[in-house]
């Protein structure tokens, strides 16, 4: 409960993450010290030998249980935390995986602190321990990646949203006349998004569809001249090749080769880290960076198979995209809408 208030004292996301972790650990140490102090005083009053033996045995069992509970609580909350090396060790730990299978999700006491631990700004893709990455697939050839990039380069846009005392940046892509798809977490908490196509003007937009659970938003952008790309009606299978496009770190339009390693249902959290949600996602063999959020995963056929929305905290070469069949109904609804909707509170 204290961690969010302490973390907010730092200016940057890295500093906030460090303060949040330190507060959690210091708070736990203080609680441990208080328990030891009270327990040691009580033990001095126990003079009966039998009671002392029972206390010793019982204390050993309680200690083992307490250590396992601490590991369960911290590991499952820090597995998507700010230190990739720690996240990888947690994910691969046999003990942690056993605890995760035997015990329920940790309590949401850390929920408010979670947003400070998420230095990349992506939503939680998984509840608890993420699955181990699927086996690698054959990457796209240069020609396949170029075909996919060329098909969507004219549709991919940069999105800037002044919100929550920050400038939120992300990517998106045109899917129809004056309609752009992006992630909900890119425009959350703001009401004045602006959309810019590469080497073009920055245009005001209105968020007409906002789904915090799926993490999809649809913007209406009057005067947008981007060439739309079609959303695939069906899912792509393992090994399907293409590219992801976007404006990582707010920079120029960039494309990266990408391939589907797996497609599955993922139970995670909404963009605020509060509600449990179910998404159908691709595990992509590619590098996703902040700013890629909302960009397209494009096939060599020119169809958009998914919307990039997150990166693995343990494997730099793994990203995640929301499958296009889930996005199509939102785009159909957006075609009839012109008024801006509420984009909720800030997600950070």
- What are the pLDDT digits (tens) for 5-23? 777 777 655 566 667 777 7
Quick one: pLDDT at residue 153? 97
CA dist list (Å): 119 to 31, 72, 140, 198, 218: 27, 22, 30, 27, 25
DSSP 231: B
Say how far apart CA 19 and CA 4 lie, in whole Å.
Answer: 9
At how many degrees (to 10) do helices 94-102 and 84-92 cross?
A: 70
Q: Supply the CATH classification number for the domain 159-228.
A: 2.40.10.10
Say how far apart CA 307 and CA 331 lie, in whole Å.
Answer: 13
Q: Higher model confidence: residue 320 or residue 121?
A: 320
Task: Among 94-108, 183-197, 267-281, 324-338, name the one with the lowest average pLDDT.
Answer: 94-108
What tokens does 210 get?
């906002």
Largest CA distance in the chain: 86
Query: Where are the chain's structural domains?
Result: 3-117, 159-228
Average pLDDT, the chain: 86
- The sheet carrying 206-211 orders its strands as 202-204, 194-197, 156-163, 166-176, 179-182, 216-220, 206-211
């Amino acid at each position: 409960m204290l961690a969010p208030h302490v973390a907010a004292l730092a200016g940057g996301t890295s500093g906030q993450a460090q303060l949040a972790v330190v507060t959690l650990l210091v708070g736990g140490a203080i609680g441990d010290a208080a328990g030891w102090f009270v327990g040691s005083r009580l033990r001095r009053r126990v003079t009966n030998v039998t009671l002392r033996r029972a206390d010793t045995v019982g204390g050993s069992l309680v200690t083992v249980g307490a250590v396992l509970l601490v590991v369960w609580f911290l590991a499952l909350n820090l597995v998507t935390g700010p230190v990739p090396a720690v996240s990888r060790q947690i994910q691969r730990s046999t003990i942690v995986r056993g605890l995760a299978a035997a015990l329920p999700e940790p309590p949401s006491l850390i929920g408010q602190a979670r947003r400070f631990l998420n230095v990349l700004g992506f939503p939680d893709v998984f509840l608890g321990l993420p699955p181990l990455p699927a086996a690698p697939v054959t990457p796209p050839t240069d020609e396949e990646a170029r075909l996919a990039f060329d098909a969507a380069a004219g549709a991919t846009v940069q999105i800037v949203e002044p919100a929550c005392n920050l400038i939120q940046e992300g990517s998106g892509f045109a899917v129809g006349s004056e309609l752009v798809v992006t992630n909900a977490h890119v425009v959350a908490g703001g009401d004045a998004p602006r959309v810019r196509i590469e080497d073009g003007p920055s245009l005001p937009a209105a968020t007409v569809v906002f789904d915090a659970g799926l993490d999809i938003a649809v913007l209406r952008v009057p005067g947008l001249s981007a060439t739309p790309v079609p959303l695939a009606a069906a899912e792509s299978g393992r090994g399907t090749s293409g590219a992801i496009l976007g404006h990582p770190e707010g920079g120029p339009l960039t494309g990266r080769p990408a391939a589907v390693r797996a497609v599955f249902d993922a139970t995670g959290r909404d963009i605020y880290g509060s509600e449990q949600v179910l998404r159908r996602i691709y595990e992509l063999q590619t590098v996703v960076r902040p700013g890629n959020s909302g960009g397209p995963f494009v096939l060599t056929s020119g169809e958009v198979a998914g919307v990039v929305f997150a990166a693995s905290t343990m494997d730099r070469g793994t990203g995640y995209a929301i499958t296009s069949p889930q996005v199509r109904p939102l785009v159909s609804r957006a075609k009839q809408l012109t008024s801006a909707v509420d984009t909720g509170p800030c997600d950070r």
